[in-house]
Structure 1
Amino acid sequence: MATTLDTRHSHRTFAPVPEALLGALLWHTARTKEAARSPLGFQIEHRPTPSAGAIHPIHLVIQLTDEESWARYNPQNHSLDLLAKDDSLFQPLVDCSEQVVPRGGGHLILFVAEPGKTAAKYENPESLIWRDAGVLQGSLALVAAALGLNYCLLGITGNPWVAQLSDQGKLQGVGVAILGAKP
């Protein structure tokens, strides 16, 4: 563990991630371990990474190996749910991220907030949403390092493209990262 902490740093080169390693990364950071009913209109969840009020308003949307398909990580089933095959919505975001750090064979990870979930319990939820995103991003960085994967946060939010995922305007981009194997 100490070696992982001491050697962890952002990488700038990426190869495709084997499916088993992507699964391990998501399992150790974002899966639902337990869920319970709540009066909020949705379940609260216990996951490896903490969240204010056990709400977990941050979704992970991952660019798949074929680079044209995207999927949302489903933490309850530990699976990837494919999004619509049309990647035209994400192409401007892919182009923007390429200007920050070229992804090579890596996969983009979008951090997509659902602010209404946190607002159902807390007044002025914005700060909590950003904190939840940061905690999840940090957990992914540490587990990626422990698994021998390269990971880099890009310093962009993903908006306005992420916000277009919902017709109701209920989603917000709160970060973009690149994940890859060592080349």
Structure 2
Amino acid sequence: MKSPKPKNINDEFHPFKYPFSTKTKLNRDFKAREGDFLDILLTRRSSQNLGHISLEDISELLYYSNKVQTINIDNSGFLISKRTVPSAGGRHPIDLLVSLPSESKRFLHYYNPIDHSLSELSIPREIQQSFFAEVNENIPVGDCCLIWFSIQTKKTQSKYEYAESLYWRDAGSLLYCIQIISNYLGFKSCPLGGLAVKSFDNLFPTNDLISGGGILVGR
């Protein structure tokens, strides 16, 4: 793997547009919390003993871990954002796909970090179920929430040569950020080792996305 370096002239980038239908605006008004940072840091652990978690809980987790706080334009005219999690060049190439606990069949939703909303993806049910089946081969999803990383590689590649290590570092930073905030909020979490590449590639008719793995969050 070669070392990344900034390009002299940034490439033009057109983001992949996810097919979605129903949008749900998420709550932004959360109760005040207290906690010592070092206690939260030192007690962080992964756990596979995960129970049901509510939409309200997931809304708070997404808000603190990935919600866009400010937006700027760089010298090339590219939209960059500031969030609690770092990203190379402020690109933030990782989109979060969220599957909430369901009494019947699971579905994937796209998380919009700008307006803090979830939109149900318009993907045939059998293709989604094939994806969940492959994810379950790693650790059973059970009754918790699945957050999956969908990486728009060209977003980082538009600014950097040899960008592969950068968006994977972004994925690691985001994974840890979600775990730390989950611990702060009193949730349990478990990163997933598998990438479910085969079934993920079938979700979207594009070569511009790659699977970045995911994390389970529950009570």
TM-score by length of 2: 0.77
Query: What letter is aligned with 2:96?
Result: L
Q: Equivalent residue of 1:111, what SS?
A: strand
Structure (1 or 2) with the larger CA radius of gyration: 2
Q: Equivalent residue of 2:147, what SS?
A: strand
Q: Which residue does 1:32 correspond to in 2?
A: 68
TM-score by length of 1: 0.91
1:167 and 1:101 map into 2 onto residues whose CA distance is 27
Q: Which residue does 1:163 correspond to in 2?
A: 201
Q: Is the 8 A contact 1:110 1:177 kept in 2?
A: yes
1:91 and 1:116 map into 2 onto residues whose CA distance is 28
Q: Which residue does 2:32 correspond to in 1?
A: none
Q: Which residue does 2:183 correspond to in 1?
A: 145
Quick check: 1:176 aligned with 2:214? yes
Q: 1:50 aligns with which of 86, 93, 96?
A: 86
Query: What letter is aligned with 2:163?
Result: P
Q: Is the 8 A contact 2:95 2:151 kept in 1?
A: yes
Aligned residue runs from structure 1 range 70-89, under 5 A: 70-84=108-122, 86-89=124-127
Q: Is the 8 A contact 1:27 1:78 kept in 2?
A: yes
Query: What letter is aligned with 1:91?
Result: Q
Runs of 4+ in 1 over 4 A off after TM superposition: 39-42
Aligned length: 181
Q: Equivalent residue of 1:15, what SS?
A: coil
Query: What letter is aligned with 1:44?
Result: I
Flag structure 2 segments of 5+ consecutive residues without an equivalent: 1-36
2:41 and 2:123 map into 1 onto residues whose CA distance is 38
RMSD (Å), alpha carbons? 1.7
Provide, for residues 112-132 of structure 1, a one-character-per-residue CA deviation record: whole Å limited to 9, x for no partner. Answer: 100010010000110001000
Q: Percent identity?
A: 30
Flag structure 1 segments of 5+ consecutive residues without an equivalent: none
2:216 and 2:146 map into 1 onto residues whose CA distance is 5
Aligned residue runs from structure 1 range 66-105, under 5 A: 66=102, 67-84=105-122, 86-105=124-143
Give the CA deviation at 1:16: 2.0
Q: Equivalent residue of 2:126, what SS?
A: coil
Give the CA deviation at 1:69: 1.9
Provide, for residues 11-67 of structure 1, a one-character-per-residue CA deviation record: whole Å limited to 9, x for no partner. Answer: 112222122211111111100001122465641101111100000000110112324
1:159 and 1:92 map into 2 onto residues whose CA distance is 11
Q: Is the 8 A contact 1:110 1:158 kept in 2?
A: no
Give the CA deviation at 1:180: 1.1
Q: 1:59 aligns with which of 92, 95, 100?
A: 95
Give the CA deviation at 1:85: 5.5
Q: Which residue does 1:16 correspond to in 2?
A: 52
